[in-house]
Amino acid sequence: MTLLAQPPTSAPIPECPYLERALIEARERIQVKRIELDEARSRRQRIINALRREFGGRCYVNGSVAHGDALTPLTDIDLGVVVPNDDGVYGPGRRGPADLQQRAADAIRRELGGDFPNLRITWIGQRRAVFVQFGDPVTPGQKDFTADVITAIDYVGGNGLHIPDNDGWSRSDPEAHTRMISERNDATHASFARVMRLIKHWARRNGKPLCSWNIKALGLEALTRETGMLDGMRMWFDHAIDSLSEGPTDDPAHVAGPIGLPDGWSIGEVVRELQEAARKLRRAIRFEQEGYPALALDELAKLFRDPQMMPGPTSADLQSDIKRREANLAPTAAILPTTVSSNALPLKPRSWGRG
Amino acid sequence: MNASWYGESMTFRVMLEAEAKRRYGRHLTVRLNGPLPQVNFEGSLVYNLDALDVRGRVMPVPVEVTFRPRLRAQYAAAISAEDYPRVVADPGAESPHRLDRNALCLYYPWDPPEERWSAPMGLASLFDLTAQHLFYEQWWRENDHEWLGREAPHGGPTR
């Protein structure tokens, strides 16, 4: 992923260079490491080899490694095999995916079992994938590294595939998804993947209101040109708020139904989280444009809630900005430097103590 | 205690919570604790906000606000119980303006009403005050005990 680590070369000059630099540095801290990626790809290739030997047909890759937006720690990979089904044995109303999943599990176990003694492969009870637990993390310190392996068949009547859905099948087009993401990365000179990394990390640190695929599907709608990080994030949040306010996100390939929300989230709650994030982003931009970079960074760091990824400003810099801004503030200014809320406090009470 | 108190009134709660619920959504939870006469507990209305943003802090701060049916006699003569909840954040942090090291002394109960928070202002503005107070505390700890806000003398006039 070295290519994606380079800063944009021809994106518009950012209006907030301080925040843009902070985002570039933060992104570099969270992006997948070369050693993680190499190991993940090696394991993925071995699964592909096993599936090809077992089924013939074609394999595809998707998920964050295939889409170029993986984060560290890297914990999983996604891939699938499209099993030849010329005789039409499998499909809706015919045979379900169970025996294909069993064969895939056996083939993967034969390929990897010798090198991964703690390997566990389960497919019974999984909705879609054969779930491979390597028992050996790619990133030191992580619990494990896993693979979701789909045993699909071609959809004869149109675009896409039939993929397992419990005992039956449902439609999806993961090959088109990866192709669309790849084309968008090319068209945006990789700024799409860079912005997606930041948004995915925001989601990871804020209760996961959207799954990664939903984030990227919204990104495909929102990010059509090369952008800086700040501009890209602003475009994504603004679009996501508008789009989700109207309903769940459509499948970009127009094959599957709308993308579901994570368990425990309503669409109203998701929109509220997005609005709050967008407010922080706007306040950060406004602070930098007014000449208060430490206050700007304080707002941006709060968006991610991850001091390892984006540390806040130093206390001295923050105090300097606060004092300057207080001196310059009109009494009715909308954002008080000492609070984070956009509401001006209605009173200036006296703090006290019991003595 | 069978008689109802303000915490059980939906009218009171809607007035108190409306803006805060809009602002904080699922991050704000509420529970109404019934009375336990056997231990002389009259009940409480407790709000928990899991994510209050405070200037200068990357991570949000959990805050608990507790309303009780009545205050101790020391305060009851000065201020209504609904206007003087117990607000706890950063428990144990060093500060010049706390009760028992946990509850924040956000305002002086004996000040005139226009200089202190009251329930009709809503929970959202109480969280704003709390965020400012926590920022002042951090500043006080890092800046040679300088307090940025206004201060009342410690101890109440009844002492």
Establish if B1 belongs to a structural domain: no
CATH number at residue A163: 3.30.460.90
Positions of chain A with pLDDT under 50: 1-9, 332-335, 342-343
CATH number at residue B82: 3.10.110
Q: Which of A307, A322, A351 sits opposite B106 (nearest CB)?
A: A351
pLDDT at residue A330 in the model: 59
Establish if A11 belongs to a structural domain: no
Q: A-contacting residues of B 116-135, CB under 8 Å?
A: 116-117, 121, 124-125, 127-129, 131-133, 135
Establish if A94 belongs to a structural domain: yes
Whether B56 and A340 lie within 8 Å, measured CB to CB? no
Residue with tokens 């802090």: B57
Establish if A12 belongs to a structural domain: no
Query: The whole model's pTM is what?
Result: 0.89
Q: Which of B114, B132, B153 sits opposite A339 (nearest CB)?
A: B132
Establish if B57 belongs to a structural domain: yes
Establish if B157 belongs to a structural domain: no
Chain segment A136-147, per-residue pLDDT in tens: 999 989 999 999
Does A160 contact chain B (CB < 8 Å)? no
Establish if B159 belongs to a structural domain: no
Mean pLDDT of chain B: 92
Which chain A residues have a beta carbon less than 8 Å from that of B23?
341
- CA of A346: which chain B residue's CA is closest? B125
Q: Where are the alpha helices (DSSP H) in A33-81?
A: 34-55, 63-67
Chain segment B113-148, per-residue pLDDT in tens: 999 999 999 999 999 999 999 999 998 998 899 998
Chain segment A263-289, per-residue pLDDT in tens: 999 999 999 999 999 999 999 999 999
Establish if B150 belongs to a structural domain: no
Does B41 contact chain A (CB < 8 Å)? no
ipTM of predicted assembly, 2 dp: 0.85
- Number of structural domains in chain A: 1
Using pLDDT thresholds of 50, 70 and 90, give the confidence band for residue B157: confident
Show the CA angle centred on residue B97, arms to residues B93 and B101, nearest 5°.
40
Does A76 contact chain B (CB < 8 Å)? no
Does A263 contact chain B (CB < 8 Å)? no
| Other residues' Cβ atoms within 10 Å of the Cβ of residue A230 | 26
Establish if A64 belongs to a structural domain: yes
Does B47 contact chain A (CB < 8 Å)? no
Does A302 contact chain B (CB < 8 Å)? yes
Chain B nearest-CA distance from A246, in A, is 19
Show the tokens assigned to A45: 């290739």
Establish if A207 belongs to a structural domain: no
Show the tokens assigned to A189: 């000179």
State which residues form the domain around B17. Answer: 6-142
pLDDT at residue B159 in the model: 45
> How far, CA to CA in Å, does A349 sit from each of A100, A190, B111?
70, 51, 8
Show Cβ contacts of residue A26 under 8 Å, excluding neighbours closer than 6 positions. A198, A304, A309, A310
- Number of structural domains in chain B: 1
Q: Where are the alpha helices (DSSP H) in B60-122?
A: 73-76
Q: Which of B99, B117, B142 sits opposite A315 (nearest CB)?
A: B142
State which residues form the domain around A55. Answer: 34-172
Chain B nearest-CA distance from A318, in A, is 7
Establish if B41 belongs to a structural domain: yes
Q: Where are the alpha helices (DSSP H) in chain A?
A: 2-5, 17-30, 34-55, 63-67, 98-112, 174-187, 191-205, 212-222, 229-246, 267-290, 293-304, 315-328
Establish if A325 belongs to a structural domain: no
Establish if A59 belongs to a structural domain: yes
pLDDT at residue A344 in the model: 53
